[in-house]
Chains A and B, each alone.
Chain A
Amino acid sequence: MTGSTIVDEWYPVGMVSGLEPETATSTVLMGEELSLMKETDSSITVRRGTEERPALVRFGHVWTSLGSPDHPLFSIPEADNAERRLVDCGCVRVKCSPLRAVENFLDIAHFPFIHTGILGVEDHPEVKKYDVEVDEKLNEIWAKKVEFYQPQAAASAQGGIITKYMYRVATPTVSILYKTCPVRKGEWDIITLFVQPVAEDVCDVWPWMALYDDDTPLTDLIHFQQMIFLQDRSILENQIPRLLPLDPKLEIPTRADLTSIAYRRWLKRRHYTYGAQTVAA
């Protein structure tokens, strides 16, 4: 089922603050049952049966692999800034391909229709021209100069603003969003989507944030993110086909879908097919 590019990748499998100490927690990664055990917040072991798997603790989450990653976990240097608030949002299960969850996160055009009155309004549906490139050195996708009118861009936003975005795809199931910080000029808020592939058409999604916002209660920050993501969930579960089509014959994209096109091509080039449909049905 899985090529080396798939098994040798890092995946999120749990939230550190959600694990009870000295208590085994089981989870599923690509059909394989794993057991997580926390000794301390920085020392967590991951086992498949009796076999220990590689384990990292970063960005509030536990990362592991079913294979042997030959690369370190991606970095988010901004997350180390002590002035940022790091927000664990918990896990939401979605019956969709893990790749569909990432692709939806990269899409701006749906904001006015799915996140009406918050991330977009129906009177301002236009997605302006933006740039997408593959960073060959990091093997990541970057979309830059994305701009969109948003009535309530974040929990901390007071009224509508033109929000600037940068999107980054760090691994096939991890996307990181940099967006205009409403309360600190010139800084980016960071919102990530860490996607744990449970099966090809089921995923556990762990949103996580690193924000400049000293005023909004933590619970309100979490609920803002949950509200947005749960608005997407019902849409994601109804997308057809369930798997993400990598065959370009199957769908006709528009200019606004530039990041999605780059993502699908990048997956295809890496032979990353878990959760993908490679031949038109």
Chain B
Amino acid sequence: MTMRLYDYILSGNAYKARLILAFLDVKHESTAVDFHPGKEHKSPAFLAINPAGTLPVLVDGDHILTDSAAILVYVALNHDPAKTWFPVEQPTFCAQIVSWLAFAEQLTTSIGVARLHDMLGRDADIQNARATGHQALRRLDSHLVEQEFKGSRYLVGKTPTIADIACFPYTALAGDGGISLMAYPAVNRWLISIRSLDGFIEMPGIHALHGSDTAPDLPWQSGGSERE
């Protein structure tokens, strides 16, 4: 049976699921859920699938996954023969990835909340949401600088992993919540690196790279790219 993704086009968490399915070219079907304005995710029919009333949900046969981090792990473990997106044979990397999956939750509860406030008029402590968003972005930026010094464009190891997918959407959507990324140069370089990966798909608010755009050289490199 084909997997089914319960999806909402404007959800950053649902976009994480769409991204891993796209990068790994996994066949699946989608059901659009009317989150706004219909609040369908709080309807009895949807609550029967996911009592938490959150999106996305991935249904694979008898398995119902209602957490975007769980979906990333599940799809990577089942559909990535090269074992690079969640490199089970490298326990240290896996542990680091898991901590970035937890960190991604901080982006959701800060930037994600600011975005829902600014865009769809949801109630929020907007000052606090933006301030904690900036804290998270500072941490992300310093880590990415460290990674750049090691010759990597990604959060863990030297190739993209589900850690990058988990942290990408709400970081890239910061502007939607009135949070400027101007002060985070390494974050900006990382965003372009993710957008230039094969199989990348966009979402509203995150534009695809256009023909002439390519991932920038890391600041200390001239010409040579060490992507692998």
Contact = CB atoms under 8 A, between A and B. Distances in A.
Nearest to A204: B121
Contact of B10 (A17, A93, A113, A230): A230
Given A91-B37, A227-B204, A219 B121 contact: no
Contacts, number: 71
Contacts of B36: 90, 226
| Contact count band on B | 20 to 34
A188 to B, nearest CB: 25
A122 B38 CA distance: 34
A231 B32 contact: no
A238 B33 CA distance: 30
Interface string B32-60: 11101110100000000000000000000
Given A90-B36, A219-B32, A233-B119, A226 B204 contact: yes
A183 interface: no
26 contacts: A90-B38, A91-B121, A93-B118, A93-B119, A93-B121, A113-B210, A116-B208, A122-B210, A218-B34, A219-B34, A219-B40, A222-B37, A223-B8, A223-B34, A226-B9, A226-B36, A226-B204, A227-B204, A228-B204, A229-B204, A230-B9, A230-B10, A230-B205, A231-B204, A231-B207, A234-B176
A195 interface: no
A237 B9 contact: no
Interface of B: 8-10, 32-34, 36-38, 40, 118-121, 175-176, 178, 204-205, 207-208, 210-211
Nearest to B34: A219
A89 interface: yes
A150 B217 CA distance: 35
B9 A227 contact: yes
Contacts of B38: 90, 219, 222
Contact of B178 (A95, A113, A122): A95
Interface string A208-250: 0000000001111011001111110110011000000000000
A18 interface: yes
A91 B120 CA distance: 7
A200 interface: no
Q: Return the 3 tightest CB-CB contacts between A and B, nearest first.
A: A90-B37, A230-B204, A219-B34
A114 interface: yes
Interface of B is mostly: loop
A230 B204 CA distance: 5
A18 B37 contact: yes
A93 B176 contact: no
A229 B204 CA distance: 8
B8 A89 contact: no
A124 to B, nearest CB: 14
A117 B201 CA distance: 12
A18 B36 CA distance: 10
B118 A95 contact: yes
A226 B208 CA distance: 17
A227 B121 CA distance: 17
A164 to B, nearest CB: 25
A92 interface: yes
A233 B204 CA distance: 9
Of A88, A117, A222, A237, the most chain B CB neighbours within 10 A belong to: A222
Contacts of B176: 233-234
Interface string A111-125: 001101100001000
Contacts of B121: 91, 93, 204
Given A92-B119, A92-B120, A93-B120, A226 B10 contact: yes
Given A122-B211, A226-B36, 15 more contacts: A15-B37, A91-B37, A92-B120, A93-B121, A116-B207, A204-B121, A218-B34, A219-B38, A220-B32, A222-B37, A223-B9, A227-B9, A230-B9, A231-B207, A233-B119
Given A17-B37, A91-B120, A226-B9, A114 B32 contact: no
